[in-house]
Amino acid sequence: MQFLRSEEQQKRDLKNRRSFSFRLNIFFFITFCVFSVLVLRLAVLQFVEGPELREKVFRSGTRNVKIPPIRGNIYDVNGEAIAYSTSTQSLYYTLQPGVKEADAKAMAERLAESFERLGDKTDTDTEILTPEKIFELMDITGRLTFVFEPRRIKAGINQQEIAYFMENNDNYAGVEIIEESLRHYSQDTIAVQLVGYMKGYNALYQEENGLRKYQEINRDNSQRDPADQYLDRERVGYDGLELMYQDDLRGKNGVKKYPVDSMSRIIGPMELTVPEKGNNLYLTIDKNVQIRTEDAIMAHLEKIRNSSNRMERAKYARTAYAVAMEVKTGKVVAMASMPDYDPNVWQGPISRETSQYLQYFINNGTIRTSMPYYEDPEEVKNHPSSLVYLGSTQKPLSVLVGLKENLFTAQTVYNDRGAFYFGREGHKTRVSNASNAVNGPIRASQAITKSSNAFMTEMIGNRLYMRSGSEGLEIWDRYMEEFGLGVLTGSGLPNESRGIKDYFSKTAGSSQAALVYASFGQQGRYTALQLAQFTAMLANRGKRMKPQFVNEIRDARGNLVQGFKPEVLNEADIPTAYWQVIEQGMSQVRVQGFEGFPYSFNRKTGTSQQDVRHRKRVENAVFIAYAPANDPVLAVSVVVPDGGYGGWGAAPIARHIFDAYDDEVGLTGTPKNPTKKQDVEPDKPDHAEGQQGNGETGNTAGTPAGNNTEGR
């Protein structure tokens, strides 16, 4: 029995040894697989993922602090500063979650006490920041700024204030010091709507209707090189040239690169890449011509509103728009949308009331719709915008259309009976000359001189319809667009209007009526810039020049980045004899304000009419001219909504513009009486010092700072 048990024990031991050996083999196999996987993974890490991981290690071992760039300056054609930037340290407050009014007022008290104790006592120009004022700027109700947008409390803080707030930042929740660039604009308010203004980048890309340019930038902003990344708190161009040339003006960020350990502690010296200043724009605008243009407009508006002369008086004339453009180059030397305003108002937060008030002055009325300011918004609707019918300034082009379409010849004699009737018998419509004047036998050139509505309607508008029917409107439109009316001027300015072609609208009535009224300037509303381009085209016999606003772009060291050459957008094929017809007619037009003008000049007055809400046949003054007639240099357009007769309400303004250009630039190439230029260093405007501002300007509604002539 014992032997049998021993044999069974041996069998069990053998079985156990075999089972153990099998499990041991399994263990070694699994161990081998694990080590194989580890080796394979190490190989992948070393040779495949190694470079990427090393880059991640490097990134986690550094911290980048971006320094905003200094924006490039904008100068006039002679190098006088119109817009310039300065670097400064500013104190901002960001609205904290759950902040209560009492807490905010307590912080405002502490901030005011700190500013009083640490501020510069010798700076008497800076507004004292009282607790009440600081609380208003903190804007805890979100009336002035978006909830997420930091509020600037004080710009240009001194070194003592910087040290104090950095040392005691735990006691000032939401308060931070930011290095930023402040934008300043000339106190002379030079072409402010053309230059444009700036707003916060974060607001512009987060707004539902924000500018597409910044929304597109924001989509890939994080993928950009740190030097090119837009910063949430930086200010960017919002309108005009500030927006159009944003990429040139902005410059590049500086970067402070700190090596850090896993606890984000700095473990080595900082590596600094300094910011790059943006490029500088040198405009075609001549500061002195611009100022004299603006002054002439405001003085003349005052005159015609209060004139005792029935022909001159225009009691509702509150706005005017003028453009002076060189005929051969397309350079715009003056562009005035008046009244204007002081764009330095945008340096700091402004109330909604002030913002709404400024809407009447910030739009560039020479390129798009702008309305006059009236305290009652309903009254505004009773007055015309900056886009008006051309009136008789249309007639030189109408005659060219008639000649080119063989509707008559230069020698055709028309008997002007003072009016023309069109339409079905029993339903005829009468179009009469101004004051029902009967001009008798006249040719095309005399029809321009005498501004004959009868000639235009019967010989051009009606004949074109009778020959071509409704297709006459398409023919008419082709000529209008060829001469820059109803199309963009090619200037590139943001939000430029194409104008309004009423001859295609249902309100024009029949095709016949549309062509008849279009022929004497009552069916197309266009901008002052379009009108100036059109005038230059009349002057150079058919070349539509691209309007140029920038003479050249230079970097901060003065090196030329980009120059600009004259550009012809299209050219009209008009026989010389036809040009001579309209030139002869324009040379004889009677006009006010040009007594003693020492040059021959061609011109056309216009008095367009339109119904505006409760007012019927509102009269707008329009005027175009170019000089010298034999070798045209400058083309000028002036539009005065509600200005009455063009010869009285607009022409005298144009005379001042010609005189200003002649004095400063010279209609013959030599300045007659130039204003003495100040000596100004290119990147250091002589009025830049001490004007960093404190973000307090423009908080009170009132008369726009630029719409008077005092001190000029």
- For 397-431, the three-class secondary structure string (H helix, E strand, C coil) is HHHHHHHHCCCCCCCCCEEECCEEEECCCCCCEEE
- Banded pLDDT at 680 (limits 50, 70, 90): very low
Do 469 and 486 belong together in one domain? yes
**For residue 16, how many other CB atoms are within 10 A of its CB?**
10
Distance CA 471, CA 33 (A): 86
334 dihedral zone (left: phi>0; alpha: psi -120 to 50; beta): beta
How far from the centroid of its chain's Cα atoms is residue 138's Cα?
Answer: 29
Q: Which residue has the higher pLDDT, 20 or 646?
A: 646
| 41 token code pair | 């993974």
Q: Per-residue pLDDT averaged across 675-693, rounded?
A: 45
- Banded pLDDT at 571 (limits 50, 70, 90): very high
Task: Answer with the one of 251, 283, 315 that is the final residue of a domain.
Answer: 283
Distance CA 294, CA 276 (A): 35
Do 211 and 229 belong together in one domain? yes
- Banded pLDDT at 209 (limits 50, 70, 90): low
Letter for the amino acid at 658? F
State pLDDT tens for residues 433-455. Answer: 998 999 999 999 999 999 999 99
Residue of 483, 508, 504, 487 lying closest to 496 (CA atoms): 487
Q: Which residue has the higher pLDDT, 140 or 466?
A: 466
Q: Which residue has the higher pLDDT, 224 or 287?
A: 287
Q: Which residue has the higher pLDDT, 35 or 459?
A: 459
Do 254 and 135 belong together in one domain? yes
How would DSSP label each residue in 632-684? --EEEEEEETT---HHHHTHHHHHHHHHHHHHHT-TTSS-SSPPPPP--BTTB
Residue of 310, 591, 327, 577 lying closest to 449 (CA atoms): 591
Q: Which of these ranges, 132-146, 317-331, 562-576, 689-703, has the smallest mean pLDDT?
A: 689-703
Q: Per-residue pLDDT averaged across 129-152, rounded?
A: 78
Q: Per-residue pLDDT averaged across 489-495, rounded?
A: 96
Do 106 and 242 belong together in one domain? yes
Question: Of the segments 142-146, 182-186, 367-371, which one has the largest average pLDDT value?
Answer: 367-371
State pLDDT tens for residues 247-295. Answer: 999 999 888 777 776 665 667 776 778 888 999 999 999 999 999 999 9
Average per-residue pLDDT in the chain?
A: 87
pLDDT at 56 over 60: no
- Report the residue count for the chain: 712
Q: For the chain, give the percent of residues with pLDDT over 90.
A: 61
pLDDT value at position 692? 33
CATH code, domain with 621: 3.30.450.330
| 300 token code pair | 């003349």
Q: Which residue has the higher pLDDT, 698 or 183?
A: 183
pLDDT value at position 682? 43
Do 261 and 291 belong together in one domain? no
Do 176 and 189 belong together in one domain? yes
| 476 token code pair | 């008419």
Task: Answer with the one of 248, 283, 318 that is the final residue of a domain.
Answer: 283
- Banded pLDDT at 588 (limits 50, 70, 90): very high
Do 39 and 70 belong together in one domain? no
Q: β-strands 550-554, 280-283: how paired?
A: antiparallel
Q: With contact defined as beta carbons under 8 Å apart, do 194 and 174 qualify?
A: no
Q: What domain range is 326 assigned to?
A: 285-383+528-712
Do 122 and 271 belong together in one domain? yes
pLDDT value at position 689? 32
Q: Per-residue pLDDT averaged across 74-98, rounded?
A: 88
CATH code, domain with 215: 3.90.1310.10
Burial of 599 (0-12, 13-18, 19+ CB in 10 A): middle
Return all residues near 142 (Cβ < 8 A) that are at least 6 apart: 95
Do 518 and 666 belong together in one domain? no
pLDDT value at position 35? 80
Q: Which of these ranges, 99-108, 501-510, 556-565, 699-708, has the smallest mean pLDDT?
A: 699-708
User: Dihedral sign, CA of 472, 453, 320, 73?
Assistant: positive
Q: Which residue has the higher pLDDT, 699 or 349?
A: 349
Do 278 and 342 belong together in one domain? no
Burial of 442 (0-12, 13-18, 19+ CB in 10 A): buried
pLDDT at 710 over 50: no
Q: Which of these ranges, 12-21, 166-175, 349-358, has the smallest mean pLDDT?
A: 12-21
Burial of 700 (0-12, 13-18, 19+ CB in 10 A): exposed
- Banded pLDDT at 27 (limits 50, 70, 90): confident
Token look-up 């473990």 returns: 267
CATH code, domain with 427: 3.40.710.10
Task: Answer with the one of 283, 317, 340 that is the final residue of a domain.
Answer: 283
Query: In this structure, what DSSP letter does residue 47 have?
Result: I
> Which residues are registered as beta bridge partners of 389?
525
Residue 610: phi, psi to the nearest 5? -155, 155
Residue of 285, 287, 211, 197 lying closest to 249 (CA atoms): 197
pLDDT value at position 89? 82
State pLDDT tens for residues 331-380. Answer: 999 999 999 999 998 877 677 788 889 999 999 999 999 999 999 999 99
pLDDT value at position 207? 58
Q: With contact defined as beta carbons under 8 Å apart, do 314 and 305 qualify?
A: yes
Distance CA 285, CA 334 (A): 6
Q: With contact defined as beta carbons under 8 Å apart, do 363 and 357 qualify?
A: no
Q: β-strands 74-75, 280-283: how paired?
A: parallel
Q: Which residue has the higher pLDDT, 257 or 563?
A: 563
Q: Which residue has the higher pLDDT, 535 or 38?
A: 535
Q: β-strands 280-283, 320-326: how paired?
A: unpaired
E runs forming strands in 454-586: 500-501, 524-526, 543-545, 550-554, 560-563, 568-571
State pLDDT tens for residues 145-164. Answer: 656 567 888 887 888 898 89
**For residue 38, how many other CB atoms are within 10 A of its CB?**
10
pLDDT value at position 201? 83
pLDDT value at position 457? 97
User: Dihedral sign, CA of 290, 295, 296, 298?
Assistant: positive
Question: Of the segments 199-213, 259-273, 461-475, which one has the largest average pLDDT value?
Answer: 461-475
- Round the CA-based radius of gyration of the chain to a whole number and report it: 36
Between the two ends of the chain, the Cα-to-Cα distance in Å is 134
State pLDDT tens for residues 414-435. Answer: 999 999 999 888 789 999 999 8
Residue of 573, 580, 575, 570 lying closest to 630 (CA atoms): 580
Q: With contact defined as beta carbons under 8 Å apart, do 508 and 535 qualify?
A: no
Q: With contact defined as beta carbons under 8 Å apart, do 98 and 112 qualify?
A: no
Residue of 255, 207, 307 lying closest to 68 (CA atoms): 255
pLDDT value at position 695? 33
Q: Per-residue pLDDT averaged across 615-643, rounded?
A: 97
Do 355 and 465 belong together in one domain? no
pLDDT value at position 350? 75
Count how many domains the chain has.
4
Do 339 and 260 belong together in one domain? no
Q: Per-residue pLDDT averaged across 464-484, rounded?
A: 97
| 293 token code pair | 């243009």
Q: Model's pTM, two decimal places?
A: 0.80
pLDDT at 389 over 80: yes
Q: With contact defined as beta carbons under 8 Å apart, do 334 and 283 qualify?
A: no
Distance CA 552, CA 548 (A): 10
- Banded pLDDT at 567 (limits 50, 70, 90): very high
Rounded alpha-carbon distances, angstroms, from residue 514 to 419, 452, 463, 469: 17, 18, 13, 11
- Banded pLDDT at 701 (limits 50, 70, 90): very low
Q: Per-residue pLDDT averaged across 379-390, rounded?
A: 96
How far from the centroid of its chain's Cα atoms is residue 406's Cα?
Answer: 42
